[in-house]
Amino acid sequence: MRVPRIVVAGVTSGVGKTTVSVAIMDALRKKKGLEVQGFKVGPDFIDPSYHTLVTGRQSRNLDAWMMGRKGVQDCFASACEGADVAVIEGVMGLFDGMSSKNDFASTAHIAKVLDAPVVLVVDAGKGARSIAAIALGFMRFDRKIRIAGVILNNVASERHAGYLAEAFADKIRAPVLGMIKRNSEIRLEERHLGLVPAPELQEARKKTILDAAKSVSDQINIDKIIDLCGSSPLPDATLQAGKADKARIAVALDESFNFYYADNLDALRTHGAELVFFSPVKQPGLPENIQGIVLGGGFPEVLADRLENNRSMIKSVQKAVQEGMPVYGECGGLMYLTRSISGYKGEKKARKMAGLIDADTLMTSRLTLNYTEAECDGPVFGRVHLQGHEFHYSAIENIAGDCRFAYSMKKGRGVTDGKDGFFVNESGLAAYMHLHFANSKLPARMVQACARYSRR
């Protein structure tokens, strides 16, 4: 396959990668009339929601640790079907990955896997000629990375822009593709885990984001970016599914639960699942005629009062799980299945949750952020090797002594003492670890578990 593609990378975190990426995607779609496929390097759930907002196509994640090289290539190929161009937003700084010794799982790594040129975003707010020196260092650090151009963000004035232009003309061969003027009004709304997911934003705020994307794109040379896009051949996707079982699975999707990889939902469908979405915040109970429940990550602590007050939904979930229905929870889903959630913004009152895990959730100021690895032996997935990630500001405490865990951690923190993945009534599983279903055993076994329940 040949799809024109470009990677938007940063010198560090916080230089404006998401703003620039969204602006480029918006301009390619609205100004050039192209079908744009967005991607995000790494495990982040939130940034892709902004890509989806501006492109009208579901953005996907590309993560070498969770997906492997073949998984990254397959995801890219399948997602780009029908697209004219792909824009890949990087993670952290260009060369920042799992280790300081190599670029594994970094933006640079994905650029190599996809043979894609890089646009480097640099915060120029506190320098001029020195900014050119920084860019030059990045270009020479790894000659296998093609830095095709530079976008300078946070430019203070026309005079500042002139200094930058002179410095780059003197030292840098790659073109400056844009100089984005400093504007305090162009700021994406944030929360404790990063940006607020786009689906949670009100329509007025979404319009503000789209207006900001247009404003930034007007300061970027979109025609030049199109010219610089790489389109060398890549392998076609080779996604395969075995004999599919059939199961109807309820997936929580609302303001509290919306951290899902689109690939995971697609993989469940490929393996025979019919997905029906529901809201633990708003609806009175689970959908009818289901054989399984998925509670993804998100922010249950933000609307914990509404989750607590929706007792009919909690009773519906309790009844289904106590009757043996498989349930799978990730992070926010894990928190919902504990006895209570407390501590958000200092609130001391414990909000009662489903209580299917004999433990409590406490919000903390400590960030847990790791790639993870574990051996699993428990319900839903059976015995399998797992590679995922964890990202949260909470801790599970007051854990009953008879609680059982399915995950033995080889990398990462987990819940406690190198363990993660609570057994939930012997047929369910809930963990801090987020998984990507590039490992086809995971969706296949989940659907099989639900299908077995339906035959009881």
Residues 316 and 167 both lie in one domain: no
Predicted pLDDT at 193: 44
The pLDDT of residue 200 is 53
8 Å CB contact between 278 and 292: no
> In this structure, are 89 and 202 located in the same domain?
yes
User: Which one, of 275, 284, 249, 267, lies nearest residue 454 by Cα?
Assistant: 249
Q: Please report whether residue 304 resides in a domain.
A: yes
- Encode pLDDT of 172-217 as tens digits: 989 999 999 998 766 555 444 444 555 555 565 567 777 888 899 9
Any long-range contacts for 185-189 (C-beta under 8 Å, 24+ apart)?
185/212, 186/19, 186/212, 186/215, 186/216, 188/18, 188/19, 188/50
Active site residues: 331
- Global pTM exceeds 0.85: yes
pLDDT at 191: 40
| SS3 category, 388 | strand
Tell me, yes or no, whether 293 lies in a domain.
yes
> Is residue 156 located within the same domain as residue 277?
no
pLDDT at residue 201, rounded to an integer: 54
Q: Are residues 192 and 314 in the same domain?
A: no
pLDDT of residue 208: 72
Structurally, the chain folds into a number of domains equal to 2
Flag whether 233 is in a domain: no
Query: Do 189 and 302 reside in the same domain of the chain?
Result: no
Residues 268 and 147 in one domain: no
Give the per-residue pLDDT at 361: 98
Q: What is the 3-state secondary structure (H, E, C) of 269-317?
A: HHCCEEEEEECCCCCCCCCCCCCEEEECEECCCCCHHHHHHCHHHHHHH
Q: Which residue is it, tokens 């744009």?
A: 36
Kindly state whether residues 45 and 194 are assigned to the same domain.
yes
DSSP code of 403?
Answer: -
Q: Are residues 197 and 98 in the same domain?
A: yes
Q: Which token pair is 149?
A: 């151009």
Does residue 214 form part of some domain?
yes
Name residues of the chain where pLDDT drops below 70.
Answer: 185-206, 239-243
Q: Please name the residue ranges forming H helices in 57-201.
A: 64-79, 107-113, 129-141, 158-171
My answer on whether 217 and 257 are in the same domain is no
Res 243: pLDDT? 64
Instruction: Flag whether 238 is in a domain.
Output: no
Q: Tell me, yes or no, whether 91 and 134 share the same domain.
A: yes
The type of residue at 221 is N
Give the side-chain half-sphere CA count within 13 A for 399.
Answer: 17
pLDDT for 10 = 98
Over its C-alpha atoms, the chain yields an Rg (Å, rounded) of 23
Q: Which of 228, 256, 290 is the last residue of a domain?
A: 228
Residues 292 and 440 occupy one common structural domain: yes
Q: Which domain holds residue 375?
A: 247-454
